[in-house]
Each structure stands twice: as C-alpha cells, then as structure tokens.
C-alpha cells in the first residue's frame, strides 16, 4: 500500500498543479492526508480535499470533482468525487498480484527496510537488580526492549543489546549483612537466587525491628566501594548466581545480550564526569551534596554526589552514555524503563546537553506503565511477586494439557507447549499500549481463547498446514471476492504499520496488526475454500494469499518476540 500511496500522491499533485501552479503542498504531505474509509462502499482510499480549499481558492467538492475528472494512476480502477472527498477504488487483480509477489517472492522480507543501514542503535533494557528475583515487574522492560531491538534490526540498524544490571548500591550491603547473620554457602549453592531473595526479605523484616541493621548495611557497602576483599568476593558470587538464573529465563524468551555491563562497570569512569562538571562550573553544593541546578529548565536539581562523596544513579548513567557513544558511536541509545523514571532521564539528558555533548538528543527514554498483581503493588521486600519462571511454568503446563487433549500425537509437544505458553504471556503483555498500567491477572494472561497469542499461533500453524498439503502452485491471475480483497488489503498494510510502530517505539501496534491479519485470514478461510476451490486458477490464487499470510504473520510475530511453531 505504501508504494500505491506514493503513486496516488504523485497523480493528485499533478492534478492540483493543473488547478494552481503553486499548490502549497508536497507529495509527502498528500500521502499523509490519504485515509482508509471505514465503509468499503466509499472506496478503498480517500483523499479529503478540505485541506486544499484555501490555497486553491475553491470549495472542496469542486476540487474533488476536478481531480476525479482526469485522474489516472496505475493500480487505481476508478476515481469519483463524493462531497469534498476524492474516493479511489483499487484495481483488485493488479493489486493482489503485486502484493503477493512482493511478499512471497520478493528480494527482502516484506515490510523490512534499510533506513538504518550503516547506523548503530544501543538498547538498554531488562536490567534486573542482581540478587533479586526476575518477576513479572521485569517483563515490561524485557519484552518491550527486545521487541524494539528486533524492530530496529528489521529496519536495517546494527543493534547492540545491553543488560545494565543493578549490581551496585546499598542493597549489597544489606545482602552481605543478611548472609553473614543468617545465611550459609551450602544453602545459597543449593537454592541459588531464591535463597538470596529470602535473605533480602528477612533483612527488611529484621531491620523493621532493629533499625541499626541499616547502618551495618551502609557500612558494608562503603567497604565494598573501597575494595574490601571478602565483601568483593561475596558480591561477585551473588552476581554470578543471579546471571546464571536470569539466563534461564532469557533462554525461554530467545533473548541474548551483547553485554552484561552493570552499574559497577562504570565506577572508574565516573570521576572524569564529576571533574568535567566541575571544570565547566556546572556543579554547585547544596546542603553538602553536589548538584546540577536545573530550576531554569523546570526540573529539580540533578544529584551527582552525596554528602559523603559517593555517586548516584545520574552519575553512573552519564558515565555510561559517554562510554557507549565513544565505544559504539550510536545513532540512538534507547532506554526502556518504567514511566516512574521519566524525570530521572530528563534530568541527566539535560545535564549532558549542558556539558556540551551535541548527541544528547540521540538518547531516547521509552517509558512504560506499572504492573500490579491482582490489584496489589509488587514489592520484593515483602515477597509480593510472581516469578517469571513460575508464571512461564504454569503457562507451559496449561498449553501442554490443551495439546494433549486436542493433538496427542503431535511430535515435539513439549517444545510446542513452551512456545505456546510463553507466547501467551508475552502476547498478553504486548497487546496493550506500553504506557498503560497493567493489573496482571493470571487467569487473563493464560486465557487461550479470543484475541490471544495462541490464537495467532494457531492461525499461523493453519497456514502451514494448508501450504504443506498443497504442493507447488503458481498464481498468474487474480479475480478477488470481497473476503479475498479484504485479506489482501490487510497484508498490504504491514509495511506502514511497522513504520508507525518503529516511529512510536510501540510494539502493541504490531500486536494489534497481528490480530487484524488473523481475523482477515480466518474470515477468508471459512468463506473461501482453498484446497477444494472450484478451479486450479482459483486454488492458486487462494494459495498465494495463504502463503503471503504465512510470511507476514511469521515476520510480525518475530517482531513481538512470539514464536510461531508450524504445528500445534
């Protein structure tokens, strides 16, 4: 549809310039004006002519009539004026041949592009706090971030995935104190991160009764900052245990990171940042702390150093951004975190601007809404979490039970159950706009009926089944009915849908498209016999539409991190 819109815009521009030599509009602007009428009786593509009335000094109905009278565009069967609209009808046979050939036999994956060719994007996502559980609160940054990575790769960018682990801070002082008081090496080696979490939770329970424990924790972290060998060894052990556990979940999600460089990686790079801020007279002292005053920019001060001289999150993030720019020379550096951190990012982005880093506007914060569990806020310290590994296990178990009932002879059923179960959870999360707060209800997430991940996967598997049974075919001519044409139009929308999702950093746009495509295909499938079509020509036509659906569904599901098994 994108290429057809360009042709239409060129034809419209030619018509407008015949009315007025200087129309005050470009072909690109005309493309943005083109719309899809909600009622097929109004045509396939419509152009509202109200926008041209002032410049052309004519009423919209007159403009529409003049454009329709001499309209000529390859791929358009007819043009008519209705009120102030130019309504266009697509030449179905030409359109279907072009779209199916481009999808099935094209040189590149349909919808992909090379706009990112030669450019690098760094994506900072997932980034759990070490020694804490990987729970559903981490699902957003993980799957949104990985989807954005896939989307940028689809657009031709070289992508570098960074897991900016929370591996520094007072939490390690707390964990060190808890381990020394109540833990044992044997228990941690046996239970792994679950034991570390239990110790962390117990620390907070005990600290509520004995606040002096918090002082011990701060002292322990200070010792870590100064390189205490015993605490450093414990810290490294805690990180090793955590990453080993996290990688199990990442494997289930088919995620690999290029770098696990947490906050501690930038410890030796922060003094240079502080010195530069001093040299450029950006630092001021406020109640003993070192800050960058951002009042004139409508923001609270950005804290750089605590009273005791230790660094904070902004210091580390600034150092990390400078390191990444110098190392990777990125076109964009994308940070996927909760919306609650929006001010934090706005502050240190502004500090980088004040430091004279002219690439500060290449830093992109992609926020997302909060996640609650059955209406209650998640909190590691109280134990109110659902671990992703437990959620995935439950989803896989449910998928396996359904498949055992419906398709007991399915080969590789365990792998398929994992694909379907995890796909259900990921699809559920990415169905909503990323800024929407989500109340995670397990029953809804694991519902396999309706507009869900399993429904999309079943649709894809259905296309595979049809194509496997069909054998070779070649569609030379098309004569589409309404259901076939509706499917063809939906297929044609994938490239511009992808462009919108990429521009808005919004995976849910792809997810909603997947549901639209599944609905269009299933209407086509139920109303238009494929393998038993009346003629060989009709059969080939419908197989071409099925093959195109198969290709586009596979690409779209990949972009939202959902596997697509060929049999379910």
Considering only CA atoms, which of 522, 501, 508, 412 is closest in space to residue 459?
Answer: 522
Assign 225 a pLDDT band (cuts: 50, 70, 90): confident
Encode burial over 549-560: b for 16+ CB neighbours within 10 A, e otherwise.
bbbbbbbbbbbb
Backbone torsion region of residue 373, taken as left when φ is above 0, otherwise alpha when ψ lies between -120 and 50, otherwise beta: beta
For 516, the 3-state DSSP assignment is: helix
Are 425 and 445 in contact by the 8 Å Cβ rule? The answer is yes
Structure tokens at 490: 């939906």
CA distances to 261, 267, 333, 350 from 320, rounded to whole Å, are 9, 10, 11, 15
Arithmetic mean of pLDDT, 500-524: 96
The pLDDT tens digits of the residues spanning 132-181 come to: 778 887 888 999 999 999 999 999 999 999 999 888 888 889 999 999 99
Assign 383 a pLDDT band (cuts: 50, 70, 90): low
Considering only CA atoms, which of 390, 401, 389, 387 is closest in space to residue 454?
Answer: 401
How many CB atoms within 10 Å of residue 256?
11
Assign 376 a pLDDT band (cuts: 50, 70, 90): low
Arithmetic mean of pLDDT, 234-246: 90
Which of 144-153, 352-361, 387-396, 494-503 is least confident?
Answer: 387-396
In the predicted model, is pLDDT for residue 22 greater than 80?
no
In the predicted model, is pLDDT for residue 308 greater than 80?
no
What local confidence, expressed as pLDDT, does residue 171 receive?
85
What local confidence, expressed as pLDDT, does residue 70 receive?
83
Which of 138-152, 252-266, 438-452, 471-485 is least confident?
Answer: 438-452
Are 564 and 553 in contact by the 8 Å Cβ rule? The answer is yes
Give the Cα separation of 316 and 273 in Å (integer): 9
Structure tokens at 355: 């430091």
In the predicted model, is pLDDT for residue 41 greater than 80?
no
Are 316 and 274 in contact by the 8 Å Cβ rule? The answer is no
In the predicted model, is pLDDT for residue 311 greater than 70?
yes
What local confidence, expressed as pLDDT, does residue 373 receive?
66
What local confidence, expressed as pLDDT, does residue 288 receive?
86
Give the Cα separation of 54 and 34 in Å (integer): 18
What local confidence, expressed as pLDDT, does residue 385 receive?
66
CA distances to 21, 278, 374, 398 from 443, rounded to whole Å, are 62, 54, 10, 11
Are 71 and 79 in contact by the 8 Å Cβ rule? The answer is yes
Residues in the chain: 568
> If you ran DSSP here, which 8-state letter would residue 74 be given?
T
Give the Cα separation of 274 and 292 in Å (integer): 11
Assign 30 a pLDDT band (cuts: 50, 70, 90): confident
Structure tokens at 564: 């697509």
Give the Cα separation of 521 and 37 in Å (integer): 20
Task: Look up the pTM and report it.
Answer: 0.89
Structure tokens at 454: 């399993």
Cα angle, residue 510 at apex, residues 389 and 556 outer, rounded to 5°? 80
Considering only CA atoms, which of 188, 205, 241, 195 is closest in space to residue 379?
Answer: 205
Side-chain-side CA neighbours of 305 within 13 Å: the count stands at 19
Give the Cα separation of 372 and 136 in Å (integer): 9
In the predicted model, is pLDDT for residue 374 greater than 70?
no
Assign 295 a pLDDT band (cuts: 50, 70, 90): very high
Residue scoring higher pLDDT (382 or 297)? 297
What local confidence, expressed as pLDDT, does residue 153 receive?
97
Give the Cα separation of 393 and 501 in Å (integer): 30
Give the Cα separation of 537 and 554 in Å (integer): 26
Arithmetic mean of pLDDT, 208-222: 90
Assign 49 a pLDDT band (cuts: 50, 70, 90): confident
> Could you tell me the domains of the chain?
2-90 (3.30.1360.70), 388-559 (1.10.730.10)
The pLDDT tens digits of the residues spanning 422-447 come to: 999 899 889 989 888 888 776 777 67
Side-chain-side CA neighbours of 296 within 13 Å: the count stands at 5
Assign 105 a pLDDT band (cuts: 50, 70, 90): confident
What is the C-alpha R_g of the chain? 28
Give the Cα separation of 366 and 343 in Å (integer): 12
Assign 384 a pLDDT band (cuts: 50, 70, 90): low
What local confidence, expressed as pLDDT, does residue 83 receive?
83
- Work out whether strand 289-292 and strand 302-305 pair parallel, antiparallel, or are unpaired: antiparallel
Considering only CA atoms, which of 33, 80, 81 is closest in space to residue 55?
Answer: 33
Arithmetic mean of pLDDT, 338-343: 92
What local confidence, expressed as pLDDT, does residue 442 receive?
66
Q: What are the beta bridge partners of residue 445?
A: none
User: What is the residue-averaged pLDDT of the chain?
Assistant: 89
Give the Cα separation of 411 and 304 in Å (integer): 58
DSSP 27-54: HHHHHHH-B--SSGGG-SEEEE-GGGHH
Give the Cα separation of 502 and 525 in Å (integer): 30
């Amino acid at each position: 549809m994108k290429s057809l819109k360009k042709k239409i815009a060129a034809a419209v521009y030619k018509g407008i310039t015949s009315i007025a030599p200087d129309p005050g509009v470009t072909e690109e602007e005309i493309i943005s004006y083109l719309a899809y009428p909600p009622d097929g009786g109004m045509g396939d593509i419509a152009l509202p002519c109200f926008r041209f009335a002032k410049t052309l000094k004519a009423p919209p109905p007159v403009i529409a009539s003049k454009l329709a009278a001499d309209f000529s565009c390859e791929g358009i069967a007819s043009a008519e004026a209705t009120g102030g609209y130019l309504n266009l009808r697509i030449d179905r046979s030409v359109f279907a041949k072009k779209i199916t050939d481009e999808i099935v036999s094209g040189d590149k994956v349909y919808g992909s592009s090379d706009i990112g060719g030669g450019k690098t994007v760094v994506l900072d996502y997932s980034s759990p706090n070490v020694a804490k559980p990987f729970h559903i609160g981490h699902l957003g940054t993980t799957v949104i971030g990985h989807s954005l990575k896939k989307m940028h790769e689809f657009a031709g960018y070289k992508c570098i995935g960074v897991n900016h682990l929370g591996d520094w801070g007072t939490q390690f002082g707390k964990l060190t104190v808890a381990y020394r008081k109540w833990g044992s090496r044997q228990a941690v080696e046996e239970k792994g991160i679950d034991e570390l979490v239990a110790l962390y939770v117990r620390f907070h329970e005990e600290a509520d009764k004995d606040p002096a424990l918090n002082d011990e924790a701060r002292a322990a972290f200070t010792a870590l900052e100064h390189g205490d060998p015993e605490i450093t060894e414990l810290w490294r052990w805690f990180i090793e245990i955590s990453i080993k556990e996290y990688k199990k979940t990442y494997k289930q999600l088919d995620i690999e990171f290029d770098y696990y460089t947490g906050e501690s990686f930038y410890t030796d790079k922060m003094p240079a940042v502080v010195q530069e801020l001093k040299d450029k007279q950006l630092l001021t002292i406020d109640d003993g702390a070192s800050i960058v005053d951002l009042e004139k920019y409508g923001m609270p001060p950005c804290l750089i150093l605590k009273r005791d001289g230790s660094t904070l999150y902004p210091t580390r993030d600034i150092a990390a951004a400078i390191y990444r720019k110098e190392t990777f020379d990125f076109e964009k550096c994308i940070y996927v975190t909760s919306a609650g951190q929006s001010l934090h990012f706005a502050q240190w982005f502004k500090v980088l601007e004040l430091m004279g880093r002219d690439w500060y506007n290449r830093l992109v914060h992609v926020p997302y809404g909060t996640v609650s569990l059955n209406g209650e806020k998640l909190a590691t310290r109280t134990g109110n979490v659902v671990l992703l590994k437990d959620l995935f296990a439950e989803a896989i178990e449910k998928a396996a039970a359904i498949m055992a009932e419906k398709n007991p002879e399915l080969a590789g059923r365990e792998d398929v159950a994992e694909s379907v179960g995890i796909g259900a959870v990921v699809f559920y999360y990415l169905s909503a706009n990323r800024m929407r707060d989500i109340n995670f209800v397990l029953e809804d997430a694991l519902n396999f009926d309706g507009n869900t991940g399993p429904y999309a996967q079943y649709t894809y598997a259905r296309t595979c089944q049809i194509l496997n049974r069909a054998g070779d075919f070649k569609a030379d001519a098309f004569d589409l009915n309404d259901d076939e044409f509706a499917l063809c139009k939906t297929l044609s929308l994938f490239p511009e849908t992808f462009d919108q999702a990429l521009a808005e950093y919004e995976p849910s746009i792809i997810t909603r498209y997947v549901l639209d495509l599944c609905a269009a295909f299933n209407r086509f499938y139920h109303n238009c016999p494929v393998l038993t079509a009346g003629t060989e020509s009709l059969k080939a036509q419908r197989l071409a539409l099925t093959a195109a659906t198969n290709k586009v569904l596979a690409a779209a599901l990949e972009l939202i991190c959902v596997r697509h098994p060929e049999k379910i």
